[in-house]
């Protein structure tokens, strides 16, 4: 896709002004890094606060008294009992139990607010409209709202200068908040493993808000490169890489995201696409599953590398990998046959014709620091 065909977020001119190196991502021209560089951007987010433009993500509102009940038919998550002012991680599943997308769902009181992945947003919108027609109103906010993420240990200090009430919010809380006179939706969440916020802001006000936040001494602009290394250290999946339509939540080690109420013994067991297969896997186990992997040498193991056993038989594949600046070494995630998924099991990655020893480890690789009050 040529640069002319790529979509631009409302902050595009600001990225250029800040000297960003732009790359195509999910159909958008996005900043992969700024002059600071990926390593320093990553470490700055862990130490202070980073501002990310995530306006390419899809924002959707569901209106109507039946919205929660309707959405529950598409996700293995408890939406009906999601408290007002709270957000929950969810998965759209298909009839085979595969993952169509992962998303965030917040209960704003008189509507549900959804954030879906950029590459999947058009199909997610069509999916919602097709299946929820007549049960609730599906409203796309794709063109009307931008999305910023302010992440890092000083994020609360920074944002509370604009709205003191955000400091009292805890992880996964959601609220309508006025920032610089603008009506925003704010959740205390993010994709870095750090404390922080995601801020939905009208397109017309996005650049003004971003500039104001960047003017704070703790805040620097952070690109997609550091966003990826931060989420990998936090052990967080990237859709289309660590999970996709042929992967079930159980295989993706996301069983925790299936709410108790929707499990086999739950009060509203099943009732979502692929429930039979997913609940059977929860009961009986899976052939292969996603695990954390730590190379024992300082050799980055990248996505696509085959994973083999000591006899060099293929037992899996790396789905995300690279260097962890906070970890101080290489790290990876991937799928291995269940017989090799136990912690500390030694497996090997094939990297440029050589075998790199790796151990199966628990994720996150770097401790998550969400604020739980």
Q: What is the pLDDT of residues 21-33, one digit of tens each?
A: 999 999 999 999 9
Sequence ranges of the chain with CATH classification 3.30.1360.120: 1-284
Record the pTM: 0.97
| pLDDT confidence of residue 59 | 98
| pLDDT confidence of residue 80 | 98
Pinpoint the alpha helices (H) of the chain: 12-17, 38-47, 67-72, 121-132, 155-160, 203-214, 224-233, 275-284
Q: Is 80 exceeded by the pLDDT of residue 329?
A: yes
**354 Cβ neighbours under 8 A, 6+ residues apart:** none
What pLDDT band is residue 170 in, cutting at 50, 70 and 90? very high
Q: Are strands 137-140 and 58-63 parallel, antiparallel or unpaired?
A: antiparallel
- Domain 1-284 homologous superfamily, CATH: Probable tRNA modification gtpase trme; domain 1 (3.30.1360.120)
C-alpha span between 169 and 173 (Å, rounded): 6
Share of the chain above pLDDT 90, in %: 99
What pLDDT band is residue 1 in, cutting at 50, 70 and 90? low
**223 Cβ neighbours under 8 A, 6+ residues apart:** 20, 21, 30, 31, 32, 33, 34, 38, 41, 52
**235 Cβ neighbours under 8 A, 6+ residues apart:** 193, 292, 333, 363, 364, 365
Mean pLDDT of 191-215: 98
Mean pLDDT of 248-257: 98
What pLDDT band is residue 3 in, cutting at 50, 70 and 90? low
What pLDDT band is residue 105 in, cutting at 50, 70 and 90? very high
For 266-305, strand residue ranges (E) read: 288-295
- Domain 287-361 homologous superfamily, CATH: Aminomethyltransferase beta-barrel domains (2.40.30.110)
| pLDDT confidence of residue 2 | 61
Measured CA to CA in angstroms, residue 14 lies from 11, 22, 271 at distances of 5, 12, 45
Sequence ranges of the chain with CATH classification 2.40.30.110: 287-361
Q: Is 90 exceeded by the pLDDT of residue 4?
A: no
| pLDDT confidence of residue 226 | 98
Mean pLDDT of 79-102: 98
The mean predicted confidence, pLDDT, of the chain is: 97
Q: Is 60 exceeded by the pLDDT of residue 264?
A: yes
Mean pLDDT of 255-261: 98
């Amino acid at each position: 896709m040529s640069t002319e065909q790529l979509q631009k977020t409302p902050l595009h001119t600001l990225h250029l002004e800040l000297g960003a190196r732009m790359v195509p991502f999910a159909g958008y021209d996005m900043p992969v890094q700024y002059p600071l560089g990926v390593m320093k951007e990553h470490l700055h987010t862990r130490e202070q606060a980073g501002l990310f433009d995530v306006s390419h993500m899809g924002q959707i509102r569901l209106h109507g008294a039946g919205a929660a009940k309707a959405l529950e038919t598409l996700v293995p998550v408890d939406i009906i009992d999601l408290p007002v002012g709270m957000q929950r991680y969810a998965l759209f599943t298909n009839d085979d139990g595969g993952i169509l997308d992962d998303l965030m769902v917040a209960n704003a009181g008189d509507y549900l607010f959804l954030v879906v992945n950029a590459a999947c947003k058009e199909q997610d919108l069509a999916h919602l409209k097709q299946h929820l027609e007549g049960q609730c109103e599906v409203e796309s906010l794709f063109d009307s709202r931008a999305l910023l993420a302010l992440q890092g240990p000083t994020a609360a200090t920074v944002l509370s200068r604009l709205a003191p009430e955000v400091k009292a919010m805890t992880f996964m809380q959601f609220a309508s908040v006025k920032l610089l006179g603008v009506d925003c939706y704010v959740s205390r969440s993010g994709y870095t493993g750090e404390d922080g916020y995601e801020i939905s802001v009208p397109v017309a006000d996005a650049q003004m808000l971003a500039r104001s936040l960047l003017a704070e001494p703790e805040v620097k602009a952070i690109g997609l490169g550091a966003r990826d290394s931060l989420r990998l250290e936090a052990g967080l999946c990237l859709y289309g890489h660590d999970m996709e339509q042929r992967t079930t939540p159980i295989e993706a080690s996301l069983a925790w995201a299936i709410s108790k109420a929707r499990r086999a013994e739950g009060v509203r067991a099943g009732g979502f696409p692929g429930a039979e297969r997913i609940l059977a896997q929860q009961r009986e186990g899976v052939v292969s599953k996603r695990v954390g992997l730590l190379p024992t040498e300082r050799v980055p193991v990248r996505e696509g590398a085959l994973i083999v056993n000591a006899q060099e038989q293929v037992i899996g594949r790396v789905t995300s990998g690279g260097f962890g600046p906070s970890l101080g070494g290489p790290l990876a995630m991937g799928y291995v046959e269940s017989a090799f998924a136990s912690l500390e099991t030694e497996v090997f990655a094939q990297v440029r014709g050589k075998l790199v020893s790796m151990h199966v480890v628990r994720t996150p690789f770097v401790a998550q620091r969400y604020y739980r009050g």
